[in-house]
Amino acid sequence: MKTSQLDRQADLIEAVLSAHKIKGRVFGGVVTPRFIRFDMQLSYEMRVQRVMALREEMAMHLGVPDVRMYRMGNTLRVEIPRSDMAYVRFETLYRRVGDLPELTAILGVDQEGVPLLMKITSPDVAHMLVAGTTGSGKTMLLKTIVLSLALTNPQHRIRMALIDPKGRGLVAFNGLPHLIHPVETDPERAVRLLEGLVVEMERRDRLHFHRPAILVVVDELADLRMIGGQRVEQALIRLTQRGREAGIHVVIATQRPQSTIIGGVVKANLPVRLVGAVNSPEDAKVATGMAGSGANRLRGRGDFLLVARHETIRFQVAFVKDAMIRTAISNPSFLVKELAS
C-alpha cells in the first residue's frame, strides 16, 4: 500500500468532516490484510453520533462499498476495505508462531498483524461460541483451531469429538488420531455422542479426573437441534455448565445466532464469542452479547471479532486447505517438520 494513497484517503476523510463543520483530524492508523484503519481525534464539543451519521457519505467519497466506524477509548476509528485484500495463510502463521504453548489454538492475526492465540484451558475461555453467516469463514476458523491443536498436542494431552451435521466442513479430519469417534455427520448419532460425553464428564467428576482434555466441536447447532431438540440443548447445558472442571471444552458454531437456536442457558455458559459477519444488528447483539459491536458490518471471508471479558478484538482468520489437513493426518511428523523449517 503506497503512502501517497493512504495520505489521500486520510485527506478525504478530513474533507468530509470539514464540509460538515466537524473539527477532527486523522492522526494514525494501520494497514491489515483485509482493510485499512484510520484513527481520528475529534474536538471535545463534537458529538460522536454526528460523525457516525456520515458513514455512507464517507464511503461514497472514498469510492468503497462501505466503511465501518466505531469508538475505541477517546479515538474514533474508520475502517476501509482493501481492494487487494489478502488471505492469512495457516502455514505462514504457524511458522511465525513457532512452538505453541500447551493446549493453545491459533485463530489468526489481529488488527496490528500480531498472531492471535487462544489457550482453551484458560479459566476465561472454557467454552466458545462461533457465529457467522454462510461465507463468513466460520468453518475455516473451526478447522484452524482443530488443526493447530492437533499439530502441537499429542493424544495423551487432548482428544476431540467433532460433529458436522452438514457433512462438508469437518469431515476432512476423519482419520485424525486425536478423535475419540469418527467425525459424526448423522444428527441422531451426534445426539447420542453428546449424551455419552455427559456420562464421561460425570465419571471424571466422581474420580476428580480431567486428563486428557476433550475438545467438543459442533459445526452448525441449528441443524443438530432440528433433529435432537431438547436432548441436544440439555446435553450442551450440562457440558458447558460443568465440563471445564472435567477437562471438557465445547465449541458451538452456528450461522443463526438467535436466542431460540443457542438457548439462553447455553449462551450464558459460553464466555468467549468468535463472531464473523451476521445478517442484522439483532443477530450481532445476540452473538457478541453486546450492543453496537458492528458484527453486521464485518466483511466476511474470515473477518471476525473476538469478544471476551468485555473486550473486543478484530482479527482475520487463518486460511487452511483441506489438502493440508489430509497431509497432517497421513504424515503428521512430516508436516510439522515442513511447516517448522
Q: What is the pLDDT of residues 107-133, one digit of tens each?
A: 999 877 899 999 999 988 989 999 999
Among residues 28, 5, 40, 29, which one has the least CA distance to residue 112?
29
| Among 50-54, 70-74, 256-260, the least confident range | 256-260
C-alpha to C-alpha distance for 307 and 271, rounded to whole angstroms:
8
pLDDT exceeds cutoff 90 at 12: yes
C-alpha to C-alpha distance for 73 and 55, rounded to whole angstroms:
19
**3-class SS at 325?**
helix
Residue 31 banded pLDDT, cuts 50, 70, 90: confident
Hey, which bits of the chain come out as E strands? 24-31, 35-42, 68-72, 75-81, 88-89, 104-110, 115-119, 128-131, 158-163, 213-219, 248-254, 272-275, 303-308, 311-319
Q: Which whole number is the average pLDDT over 308-324?
A: 90
Among residues 198, 192, 218, 260, which one has the least CA distance to residue 129?
218
Q: What is the predicted pLDDT for the residue at 332?
A: 58
Instruction: For residue 109, give the C-alpha cell.
Output: 492475526
Q: What is the predicted pLDDT for the residue at 81?
A: 85
Q: Cβ(146)–Cβ(215) under 8 Å?
A: yes
Q: In this prediction, what percent of the chain has a pLDDT beyond 70?
A: 95
| Among 42-46, 76-80, 192-196, the least confident range | 42-46
C-alpha to C-alpha distance for 184 and 278, rounded to whole angstroms:
26
Amino acid identity, position 74: N
- Rounded to the nearest integer, the mean pLDDT of the chain is 89
C-alpha to C-alpha distance for 223 and 69, rounded to whole angstroms:
34
Q: Which whole number is the average pLDDT over 86-91?
A: 86
Amino acid identity, position 172: A
Residue bearing the bigger pLDDT, 29 or 205: 205
pLDDT exceeds cutoff 60 at 283: yes
Q: What is the predicted pLDDT for the residue at 333?
A: 61
Q: Which whole number is the average pLDDT over 22-51?
A: 87
Q: What is the predicted pLDDT for the residue at 268?
A: 80
pTM: 0.83
pLDDT exceeds cutoff 80 at 141: yes
The shares of helix, strand and coil residues in the chain, as percent rounded to the nearest 5, are 40, 25, 35
Q: What is the predicted pLDDT for the residue at 341?
A: 46
Q: Which whole number is the average pLDDT over 228-254?
A: 93
Q: Best-predicted range by mean pLDDT among 46-60, 98-112, 152-166, 226-240?
A: 152-166
C-alpha to C-alpha distance for 114 and 111, rounded to whole angstroms:
7
Main-chain dihedrals φ then ψ at residue 180, nearest 5 degrees: -85, -10
Domains of the chain: 3-81 (3.30.980.40), 88-340 (3.40.50.300)
Q: What is the predicted pLDDT for the residue at 175?
A: 94
Q: Which whole number is the average pLDDT over 330-340?
A: 55
Q: In this prediction, what percent of the chain has a pLDDT beyond 90?
A: 55
